């Protein structure tokens, strides 16, 4: 099985998780690429797609990318977000990502918190309508941390085991 780990990342949090996922794939045929360097999906069987949750949703570049994945491919979604795990401000983006895949198999999703740059937090704190959200986002400081990255590695391993059972052309290793 030929595996691609691709990601969109503005400040590096999602890239770190992508690297952890990549290192958790114990398989010879694997590629790690930022989304804007992917030019041919045809050769890949399994695609890990990662993004930061922005404005409760999937960033446009990743939205377009997921929609462009050919039918029949296996996908796993991962995202970083500043809100608490399972919180409303993150979970809507996972639902959105799941709804984008039509005809591909989404095998699983993984999310962990990712810190926001201090200058943005300061700006949000100043705006009364953003303050509650800013306090939540502030508590993501230091993420993704070692435990998040270990979880991401485990997610990769789990997805590959799962694919071994669901992928029609045989084992991944
Ligand atoms: C403009 C902007 C909007 C954001 N919107 C959300 C949001 O709606 N929900 C959330 O949980 N985090 C939100 N975040 C936080 C990012 O998802 C989080 O910091 C992420 O880890 C950034 O990943 P990156 O470093 O890969 O770009 C937002 C961050 C920015 C800069």
Q: Give the distance (Å) from ligand 1 centre to CA of residue 52.
A: 5
Q: Could you tell me if the CB of 11 is within 6 A of ligand 1? A: yes
| Whole-number pLDDT of residue 171 | 43
Ligand 1 atom nearest to 56, measured from its CA: 8
| Whole-number pLDDT of residue 173 | 40
Instruction: Classify residue 66: in a domain, yes or no.
Output: yes
Residue 76 to residue 153: CA distance in whole angstroms: 13
The count of other CB atoms within 10 Å of the CB of residue 53 is: 25
pTM: 0.95
| Whole-number pLDDT of residue 169 | 56
Residue with CA at minimum distance from ligand 1 atom 30 = 54
93 contacts 117 by C-beta, under 8 angstroms: no
Instruction: Classify residue 124: in a domain, yes or no.
Output: no
Edge to edge, the sheet with strand 30-34 lists 30-34, 3-7, 46-52, 74-81, 105-113
Cα–Cα distance list, 95 to 1, 37, 66, 100, 157 (Å):
27, 26, 13, 9, 23
| Whole-number pLDDT of residue 73 | 93
Residue with CA at minimum distance from ligand 1 atom 22 = 52
Residue with CA at minimum distance from ligand 1 atom 6 = 54
Q: Which CATH number belongs to the domain containing residue 25 in this structure?
A: 3.40.50.360
Q: Could you tell me if the CB of 116 is within 6 A of ligand 1? A: yes
Instruction: Classify residue 136: in a domain, yes or no.
Output: no
Instruction: Classify residue 137: in a domain, yes or no.
Output: no
Instruction: Classify residue 120: in a domain, yes or no.
Output: no
Domain, as residue range, for 64: 3-115+144-166
Instruction: Classify residue 132: in a domain, yes or no.
Output: no
| Whole-number pLDDT of residue 27 | 73
Tokens 């303050």 belong to which residue?
131
Q: Can you list the residues of the chain whose pLDDT is less than 50?
A: 170-173
Instruction: Classify residue 139: in a domain, yes or no.
Output: no
Instruction: Classify residue 121: in a domain, yes or no.
Output: no
Count the domains in the chain: 1
């Amino acid at each position: 099985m030929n595996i691609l780990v691709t990601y969109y990342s503005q400040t590096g949090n999602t890239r770190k998780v992508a690297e952890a996922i990549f290192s958790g794939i114990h398989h010879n045929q694997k590629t790690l690429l930022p989304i804007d360097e992917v030019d041919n999906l045809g050769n890949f069987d399994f695609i890990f797609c990662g993004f930061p949750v922005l404005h409760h949703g999937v960033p446009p570049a990743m939205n377009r990318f997921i929609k462009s994945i050919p039918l029949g491919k296996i996908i796993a979604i991962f995202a970083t977000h500043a809100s608490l795990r399972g919180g409303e401000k993150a979970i809507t983006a996972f639902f959105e990502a799941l709804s984008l895949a039509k005809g591909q198999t989404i095998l699983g999703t993984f999310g962990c918190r990712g810190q926001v740059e201090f200058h943005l937090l300061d700006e949000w704190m100043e705006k009364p309508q953003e303050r509650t959200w800013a306090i939540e986002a502030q508590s993501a400081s230091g993420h993704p941390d070692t435990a998040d990255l270990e979880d991401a590695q485990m997610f990769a391993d789990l997805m590959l085991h799962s694919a071994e059972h669901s992928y029609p052309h045989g084992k991944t290793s």
